[in-house]
Amino acid sequence: MREAYPVEQAVGIAHFVSDSDGTGGQLRASPEDFRVREVERFEAEPADADPGAYPHLVVRATLREWDTNDFAKRLSDALGISRERVSWAGTKDKYAVTTQLFTLRKVDQSDLADVSIYDADVEVLGRAGRGLTFGDLAGNEFEIVVSEAEHPENAERVRDELLDWAGTPLGVPNFFGQQRFGSRRPVTHEVGLHVVRGEWEEAVRAYVANPYDTEPEGSQQARREVADAFEERDWQAALDATPKRLGFERAMCNALVESGGDGPEDFRAALEAVPSNLQRLFVNAAQSYAFNRMLSERLERGLPFDRPVAGDVACFADSVDSVTLPDPDREQRVTERRVETVARHCERGRAFVTAPLVGTETELAEGEQGDVESEVLDDLDLEPADFDLPGEFHSTGTRRAILVRTDLEIEREGDESVAFDFSLPKGSYATVVLREFLKTDPANE
């Protein structure tokens, strides 16, 4: 196994599975080189359905270089409604062309007539009785072009190594990608770890006052000034130092100005000043970091990903269109007697080995995987009961497949470009698949 880059190790990804050199090259030379289309399990009634019975307008948006949260805010502002009335199933990366559904509560089709948003095409599909949730997302279909590839011929060699590692279809460890933690500034898991430990002030400080070299210099300088203001307990100075473009950071600082920032409850209230989905993301990122650490440790121990060992917890699978979707609600502990039976289910794509996204209801695996999970949590000073938290920070936890498989197609486009077409279940990252093929440092992207 090859060692991962430092920025990957910072979010718990310690290795590459394939040993071959990659293609090199650039992702997202233009947004059109990274196309994502959601696959949802969500049905809409006709657009003229009774808005009393179906209060949510369903639209399909194709967005060019729009962060999902930013677009939702822009759309709600254009409609003159609260952002909380805009719902979606999955959050997409900004540097791409993305197609996904949104639901707009108590909005009429005519309200969109005068709405025009740059680089966004919004199409009305119908109405629904409820808003979209993450549970409606089945997966994503990707069309990705890697440009300026130094060694495009290496793509086939990497694919062969991945097939040797986990069989067919091609599989890679189901790590959470850099986007989960912040592409330019991977701090959300640091915030979340502080939250889970009840360190509310440290959580706020980690989010608003922790500069990263990959940020613009102006943002780095602002965060340094905010860090100084924290030392002086001068919340107005922290707010004044934070530029308007850092809207969530300003919301936290403004909450401290209003409350006085005297104790843990004030800092918790500052964290609650940001949208509810971002509050959840903090804890989710902490869970994701622990999960990545567990997968890295399993790799280091040489345990298989495509089949169970005694003590593992497996889940069964469902299929939606082109996507095979692990179902963590249908799980089974793998005893020594059932290892081979569950292994056959895994081989046929009917089951997956899992690791926990730790929460209050988490029961750890047994055997060697149980040792992995316990050691990671001990090192992070975490236990399931720590996730018994107030409000949006609470999490019961779930389990997640440790291997993601995909029928991946590779096509050479000229001498320096490689095109990849594939689908992934929800929660899995195209960049995690492609990192094996490119072997490039995310810090340089």
Per the listing, tokens 């794509």 go with: 349
Q: Which amino acid is at 309?
A: V
Q: Residue 90 CB: number of other CB atoms within 10 A?
A: 21
Helices 200-208 and 247-259, axial angle in degrees (round to 10) = 140
Helix, strand or coil, per DSSP, at residue 209: coil
Q: Are strands 398-401 and 409-412 parallel, antiparallel or unpaired?
A: unpaired
Burial environment of residue 20 by CB neighbours within 10 A (0 to 12, 13 to 18, 19 or more): buried
Euclidean distance between CA atoms 360 and 344, whole angstroms: 31
* Residue 293: HSE in the Cβ half-sphere, 13 Å Cα cutoff: 21
Euclidean distance between CA atoms 213 and 83, whole angstroms: 31
Q: Are strands 97-105 and 34-40 parallel, antiparallel or unpaired?
A: parallel
In sequence order, the 6+-apart residues with CB closer than 8 A to the CB of 225 are: 237, 238, 241
Euclidean distance between CA atoms 14 and 358, whole angstroms: 20
Nearest CA-CA partner of 203 in 297, 271, 123: 271
Euclidean distance between CA atoms 314 and 333, whole angstroms: 6
Euclidean distance between CA atoms 262 and 55, whole angstroms: 42
Q: Note if 136 is an active site residue.
A: no
Euclidean distance between CA atoms 294 and 375, whole angstroms: 9
Tokens of 71: 């677009």
Q: Which of 50, 67, 77, 93 is catalytic?
A: 93
Euclidean distance between CA atoms 61 and 393, whole angstroms: 29
Distances, alpha carbon 250 to alpha carbons 26, 72, 161, 213, 229, in Å: 34, 19, 47, 21, 13
Give the DSSP letter string of 281-331: HHHHHHHHHHHHHHHHHHHHTT--SSS--TT-EEEEEEEETTEEEEEEEEE
Tokens of 444: 């340089």
Active-site positions read 93
